[in-house]
């Protein structure tokens, strides 16, 4: 009657390490469980985001190169900015977890970079990245430490913030300019080969997104829920993307823009709730909704934004912005429904705003709590307000001549900054 080794498991932690205690046939064993997500997130930041931005036919060097430059810079700068809020005796302690948090913060700036891809000079990118990191770290501290919102997958603090900061900056940079020419810049489009290299980024992001969403979970149970929910949501969003993409095209053909981006929307949409008990069906439903929102956004909303002088080169509004807000709304709902009957001792861990006892059973009946739902609502509103105001201010300042803004013929062109093969 052999063959089954693991029967149950529990997680115990000290200040530096976590161990999973598993019951084996030969007796209990403890194995070191390193914090999950760092390596996968690292791959997403440098390969996933980098290659996803190589779809423009004359901006591939800049897409992957500036992605590497900005990510390497922001990881260092975010380590300082984030640690200012958590210093002990005026010391900054760097651990694998703090590097993971800095890696995740770099994603915020790279999302903004996606909105501004090809329309900003290197000096502008550098200025925007440095200032945005300060705003983003403040927002993260505010919604998690003060409001006590839960956002383990970063749908609010990373995706929503980065998208709307970039869109606000784009609007501010275009504000006051003369009406743009009726002739669009011919370099702002892909070719067959660049669309294929961008798909490399999509595939790496898709594969490692469960690592991104689960990296900051607190327990093995949370980690498993985050991985499973993210995987199912991604899969559902992908299937939905292919179906809806063929439906919105008059000829019934697929659009590579949708496949490159909307297939990832499920990972964004489930981020704020991935560690919650949302059920497998709930995760799939979230992915289906995200696929719809994203594809329809690329098909109908992006052209409207362009006409209103808001450039969104990569369509971050459709991949990160709207799915991020969608995730925030879902987090309000699932937080309101949380109860000790479902979560047990995990309740105050998954929902920090309930650590004072909200949502616990009363007279034997688990009552839903509004405390965490309110925290999620405050976090969503604060993120939108800080991102939009911060983006407008930063975008307006970046137009100063010292940052050498690009002229129209220089946009989307690697030749401005790179030595190109002869």
Q: Which of 32-41, 107-116, 185-194, 345-354 has the lowest mean pLDDT?
A: 32-41
Q: Is residue 245 part of a domain?
A: yes
Whether 60 and 16 share a structural domain: no
- The pLDDT of 319-331, averaged and rounded, is 98
pLDDT at 32: 37
How high does pLDDT run on average in the chain? 88
Whether 15 and 103 share a structural domain: no
Whether 136 and 11 share a structural domain: no
> Which residue, among 391, 401, 400, has the nearest Cα to 310 in the 3D structure?
391
Q: What is the pLDDT of residues 73-102, one digit of tens each?
A: 999 999 999 988 888 778 888 888 889 999
pLDDT at 175: 83
Whether 102 and 5 share a structural domain: no
Tally Cβ neighbours within 10 Å of residue 331. Answer: 30
Whether 331 and 251 share a structural domain: yes
pLDDT confidence band for 24 (50 / 70 / 90): very low
Q: Is residue 286 part of a domain?
A: yes
- The pLDDT of 15-30, averaged and rounded, is 42
pLDDT at 35: 54
Is residue 260 predicted with pLDDT exceeding 50?
Answer: yes
Is residue 358 predicted with pLDDT exceeding 90?
Answer: no
Whether 129 and 26 share a structural domain: no
pLDDT at 420: 93
Q: Is residue 3 part of a domain?
A: yes
Whether 59 and 168 share a structural domain: yes
Three-class SS state of 45: helix
Higher pLDDT, 185 or 150: 150
Percent of the chain with pLDDT over 70: 86
Whether 58 and 117 share a structural domain: yes
Whether 15 and 93 share a structural domain: no
Q: What is the pLDDT of residues 98-148, one digit of tens each?
A: 899 999 999 999 999 999 999 999 999 999 999 999 999 999 999 999 999
Contact in structure between 340 and 366 (CB atoms under 8 Å) = yes
Q: What is the CATH number of the domain that holds 259?
A: 1.10.3430.10
pLDDT confidence band for 360 (50 / 70 / 90): very low
Contacts of 324 (CB under 8 A, 6+ apart): 155, 156, 159, 160, 163, 268, 269, 271
> Which residue, among 365, 360, 364, has the nearest Cα to 344 in the 3D structure?
360
Whether 21 and 165 share a structural domain: no
pLDDT at 95: 82
Q: What is the pLDDT of residues 195-247, one digit of tens each?
A: 999 999 999 999 999 999 999 998 889 999 999 999 999 999 999 999 999 99
Is residue 27 predicted with pLDDT exceeding 80?
Answer: no
Contact in structure between 391 and 172 (CB atoms under 8 Å) = yes
Percent of the chain with pLDDT over 90: 72
Contact in structure between 112 and 398 (CB atoms under 8 Å) = no
Q: Is residue 21 part of a domain?
A: yes
pLDDT at 9: 40
Q: Is residue 421 part of a domain?
A: no
Cα angle, residue 173 at apex, residues 139 and 382 outer, rounded to 5°: 20
Q: Is residue 173 part of a domain?
A: yes
pLDDT at 97: 84
Range of the domain at 336: 38-416
Q: What is the pLDDT of residues 160-174, one digit of tens each?
A: 999 999 999 999 999
Q: What is the pLDDT of residues 37-73, one digit of tens each?
A: 678 999 999 999 999 999 999 999 999 999 999 999 9
Whether 303 and 173 share a structural domain: yes
Please give the tally of structural domains in the chain.
2
- Distance CA(126)–CA(80), nearest Å, equals 17
pLDDT at 6: 37
Whether 29 and 166 share a structural domain: no
Q: Is residue 422 part of a domain?
A: no
Q: What is the 3-state secondary structure (H, E, C) of 167-195?
A: HHHHHHHHCCCCCCCCCCCCCCCCCHHHH
Is residue 382 predicted with pLDDT exceeding 50?
Answer: yes
Is residue 177 predicted with pLDDT exceeding 50?
Answer: yes
pLDDT at 379: 97
pLDDT at 94: 85
């Amino acid at each position: 009657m052999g063959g089954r080794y693991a029967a149950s498991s529990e997680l115990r932690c000290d200040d530096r390490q976590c161990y999973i205690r598993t019951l084996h046939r030969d007796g209990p064993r403890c194995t070191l469980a390193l914090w999950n997500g760092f390596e996968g997130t690292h791959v997403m930041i440098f390969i996933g985001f980098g290659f996803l931005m190589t779809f423009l036919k004359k901006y591939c060097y800049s897409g992957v190169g500036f992605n590497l430059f900005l990510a390497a810079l922001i990881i260092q700068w975010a380590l300082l900015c984030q640690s200012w809020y958590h210093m002990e005796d005026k010391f900054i302690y760097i651990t694998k977890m703090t590097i993971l948090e800095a890696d995740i913060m770099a994603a915020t700036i790279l999302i903004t970079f996606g909105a501004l891809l090809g329309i900003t000079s290197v000096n502008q990118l550098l200025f925007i990245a440095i200032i945005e990191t300060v705003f983003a770290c403040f927002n993260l501290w505010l919604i998690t430490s003060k409001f006590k919102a839960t956002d383990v997958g970063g749908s609010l603090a990373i995706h929503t913030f980065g998208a709307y900061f970039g869109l606000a900056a784009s609007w501010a940079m275009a504000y006051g300019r003369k009406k743009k020419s009726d002739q669009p810049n011919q370099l702002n489009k892909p070719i067959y080969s660049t669309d294929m290299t961008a798909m490399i980024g999509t595939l790496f992001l898709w594969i490692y997104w469960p690592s991104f969403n689960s990296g900051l979970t607190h327990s093995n149970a949370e980690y498993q829920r985050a991985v499973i929910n993210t995987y199912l949501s991604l899969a559902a969003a992908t299937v939905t993307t292919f179906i809806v993409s063929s439906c919105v095209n008059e000829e019934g053909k697929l659009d590579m823009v949708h496949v490159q981006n909307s297939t990832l929307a499920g990972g964004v949409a489930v981020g704020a709730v991935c560690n919650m008990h949302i059920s497998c069906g709930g995760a799939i439903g979230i992915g289906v909704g995200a696929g719809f929102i994203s594809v329809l956004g690329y098909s109908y909303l992006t052209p409207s934004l362009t006409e209103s002088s808001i450039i969104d080169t990569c369509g971050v509004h459709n991949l990160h912005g709207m799915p991020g807000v969608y995730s925030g709304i879902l987090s309000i709902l699932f937080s309101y429904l949380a109860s000790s009957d479902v979560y047990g001792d995990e309740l105050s861990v998954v929902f920090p705003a309930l650590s004072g006892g909200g949502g616990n059973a009363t007279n034997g009946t688990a009552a839903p709590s509004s405390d965490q739902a309110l925290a999620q609502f405050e976090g969503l509103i604060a993120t939108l307000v800080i991102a939009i105001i911060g983006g407008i201010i930063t975008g307006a300042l970046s137009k100063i001549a010292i940052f050498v803004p690009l002229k129209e013929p220089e946009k989307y062109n690697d030749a401005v900054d790179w030595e190109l093969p002869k």
